Amino acid sequence: MALTLSPDRVAAARSLAAALVPGQRVCLTTHVNADGDGLGSEAGLAHLLRGRGIEAVVTNPTPTPPRFAFLFDDLPGVDRSAEAVRELRRAHAIVVLDIADLGRLGMLGDTVRARGVAVACVDHHVGEGLLPDGPRYLDAGAAATGELVFEIAVANGWTLTREAARGLYVAILTDTGGFRFSNTRPRTLRVAAELLETGVDPEQIYLEVYARAPEGRPRLFAEALQTLVVEPEYGLAWVTVPPGAIERLGVSSDDLEGVVEFPRSIEGVRMALLFREVSQGRVKVSLRSVGKVDVAAFAKAFGGGGHTKAAGLAIPGSLAEVQSAVLTAARAYLAGDGRPILPSN
């Protein structure tokens, strides 16, 4: 069954494409600590735009994690994240992928705001966020932003090469947990099938993304899992990254991917959390849920966001202070009052 798009979706996709003119220099960017969806979507879109005579470059606020560097092997010079500010100041247009808010761009937010050009957005998270004016292609029901980039290509009749498809396949693969998470819809698998039909090698992608871990990664998992706490009376479980462990083990925050799935996998757990210090006086919390628990709604009360079953937040305070505030709110949320308790000022 071929992928079909509603007239409204086709119109939105064509409106976005119309803002990206051949001969332009277009900057593609995504959130701090980019993941497989953000980077895969960028790689796929860069191939698609370059095929139309548009000079697309990647300008992210943080470096590309080593396990995703292969996405740019056949795009020499496209990843300009080390010179992101300079590149953004030269852009004729900007495309923000996998987020819809300047706050998620870290230090690049002010540069994007000040550039004064159209800022297009392709995103699958809940809420439209705050970005400068520009075309939007949004769908909170999509499994990944890569799925939406594929739709844009279909709506505009763009040729989907194997190289472009590889990036989009990585985007969907990683954001669905290898097609295991509840965001995997029949439509998602149809898109993945069309991507594979271009000649994408799923085993090679698995090896690149999941089988090239540094020795420090399993050691990091081991240290984090030693901190596991389970409160079965609430259906709550959490782990904590020991302060300094990432630096000491010579890994990156990207190597934490998957840790929070362990507490979520425990029978009876409805909400799982991962706590880690991201800077002096600031703590990031990754949240996952099972069943009807909406962690995006929970995170929103703390200024965070995400999806119903996968979300995150980052708030100031010591590790102990943040854990106390968030866990108190989580217990109340799970107990059934439906509204997270905000930390006191």
Q: Which of 210, 242, 257 is the last residue of a domain?
A: 210
Which of 170, 188, 210 is the last residue in one of the domains?
A: 210
Q: Does a structural domain hold residue 345?
A: no
| Same-domain pairing of 252 and 143 | no
CATH at residue 277: 3.10.310.30
CB 296 within 8 A of CB 183: no
Between the alpha carbon of residue 311 and those of residues 176, 271, 303, 342, the distances in Å are: 14, 11, 11, 17
With respect to residue 279, please indicate whether it lies within any of the assigned structural domains: yes
Indicate whether 182 and 243 sit together in one domain: no
CATH code of 28's domain? 3.90.1640.10
**Same domain, residue pair 330 and 196:** no
Regarding whether 164 and 303 lie in a shared domain, the answer is no
In this structure, is residue 1 part of a structural domain? no
Question: For the chain, give me the number of helices (H) and strands (E)?
Answer: 13, 11
| Cα-based distances in Å from 280 to 30, 244, 276, 277 | 24, 11, 11, 7
Short-list 324, 313, 319, CA closest to 281: 319
> pLDDT by residue for the chain (345 residues), tens digit each?
568 899 999 999 999 999 999 999 999 999 999 999 999 999 999 999 999 999 999 999 999 999 999 999 999 999 999 999 999 999 999 999 999 989 889 999 999 999 999 999 999 987 667 899 999 999 999 999 999 999 999 999 999 999 999 999 999 999 999 999 889 999 999 999 999 999 999 999 999 999 988 999 999 999 999 999 999 999 999 999 999 999 999 999 999 999 999 999 999 999 999 999 998 789 999 999 999 999 999 999 999 888 889 999 999 999 999 999 999 999 999 998 444 444 444
Same domain for 60 and 203: yes
* Domain span at 111: 7-210
Cα four-point dihedral sign 97, 99, 102, 104: negative
Same domain, 241 and 179: no
Domain count, the chain: 2
Of 345, 279, 274, residue with least CA distance to 313: 274
Q: How many degrees, rounded to 5, is the angle at CA 241 between CA 258 and CA 321?
A: 125
Domain boundary among 194, 210, 226: 210
Q: 3-state class of 159 per DSSP?
A: coil
